[in-house]
Structure 1
Amino acid sequence: MTPAIAGFDYQRVPVADGVSLNVAVAGSGTPIVLLHGFPQTHLMWRHVAADLAADHTVICPDLRGYGASDKPTETEHTETEHTVYAKRTMAADIVALARALGHERFALAGHDRGALVAFRAALDHPEVITHLAVLDVLPTLDMWQVMRGTSAAVGFHLYLMAQPPGLPEQMIAATSDAFFGHFLDIWTNDPQAIPADVRTAYLDACRGAVPSIVADYRASAGIDVLHDQADWDAGNRLRMPVTALQQDWGAALGFDAAALWRAWASDLRHETVTCGHFMAEEAPADIAKIVRDLLTR
Structure 2
Amino acid sequence: MIEGFDERRVPIGGDVTINAAVGGAGRPVVLLHGFPQTHLMWRHVAADLAADHTVICPDLRGYGASDKPVAGDADTYSKRTMAADVVALARALGHERFALAGHDRGALVAFRAGLDHPDTVTHLALLDVLPTLDMWDVLHGVDAAVAYHLYLMAQPPGLPERMIEASADAFFGSFLDGWANNPTAFPPEVRTAYLEASRAAVPSIVADYRASAGIDVEHDRADRAVGRRLAMPVTVVQQDWGAALGYDAAGLWRAWAPDLVHRTTTAGHFMAEEAPAEIVKLLRELLTR
Of the three residues 198, 208, 213, the one matched with 2:205 is 213
**Is contact 1:248–1:275 with CA below 8 Å preserved after alignment?**
no
Query: Shift of the alpha carbon at 1:241?
Result: 0.1
**Is contact 1:32–1:108 with CA below 8 Å preserved after alignment?**
yes
- How far, CA to CA, are the matches of 1:84 and 1:137 in structure 2? 22
Q: What is the number of equivalent residue pairs in this alignment?
A: 289
2:32 paired with 1:35: yes
Of the three residues 2, 9, 14, the one matched with 1:17 is 14
Task: Flag the 1:253–1:54 CA change in 2: closer, same or farther, 3 A.
Answer: farther
- How far, CA to CA, are the matches of 2:109 and 2:179 in structure 1? 21
Alignment partner, residue 255 of structure 1: 247
**Is contact 2:63–2:204 with CA below 8 Å preserved after alignment?**
yes
1:71-119 CA-to-partner distances (Å, cap 9, x unmatched) read 000133xxxxx00000000000000000000000000000000000000
Structure 1 unaligned spans of 5+: 77-81
Alignment partner, residue 61 of structure 2: 64
- How far, CA to CA, are the matches of 1:251 and 1:241 in structure 2? 25
Alignment partner, residue 96 of structure 1: 88
Alignment partner, residue 178 of structure 2: 186
> What SS class does the counterpart of residue 10 from structure 2 fall into?
strand
- How far, CA to CA, are the matches of 1:248 and 1:142 in structure 2? 16
TM-score, normalisation: structure 2: 0.99
Of the three residues 160, 166, 180, the one matched with 1:168 is 160
- After TM superposition, list the pairs within 5 Å mapping 1:1-297 onto structure 2: 4-76=1-73, 82-249=74-241, 251-297=243-289
1:3-50 CA-to-partner distances (Å, cap 9, x unmatched) read x10000111001121110110000111100000000000000000000
Structure 2 unaligned spans of 5+: none
**Is contact 1:91–1:120 with CA below 8 Å preserved after alignment?**
yes
One-letter amino acid matched to 1:179: F
One-letter amino acid matched to 1:60: C
Query: Shift of the alpha carbon at 1:255?
Result: 1.1
**Is contact 1:32–1:106 with CA below 8 Å preserved after alignment?**
yes
Task: Flag the 1:144–1:250 CA change in 2: closer, same or farther, 3 A.
Answer: closer
**Is contact 1:23–1:59 with CA below 8 Å preserved after alignment?**
yes
- How far, CA to CA, are the matches of 1:248 and 1:138 in structure 2? 12
Query: Following TM superposition, where does structure 1 have runs of at least 4 consecutive aligned residues deviating by more than 6 angstroms?
Result: none
- How far, CA to CA, are the matches of 1:137 and 1:240 in structure 2? 18
- How far, CA to CA, are the matches of 1:190 and 1:147 in structure 2? 26
- How far, CA to CA, are the matches of 1:67 and 1:53 in structure 2? 22
One-letter amino acid matched to 1:146: V
- How far, CA to CA, are the matches of 1:260 and 1:203 in structure 2? 33
- How far, CA to CA, are the matches of 1:152 and 1:249 in structure 2? 12
> What SS class does the counterpart of residue 12 from structure 2 fall into?
strand
Query: Shift of the alpha carbon at 1:250?
Result: 7.2
One-letter amino acid matched to 1:124: D
Alignment partner, residue 79 of structure 1: none
- How far, CA to CA, are the matches of 1:130 and 1:159 in structure 2? 34
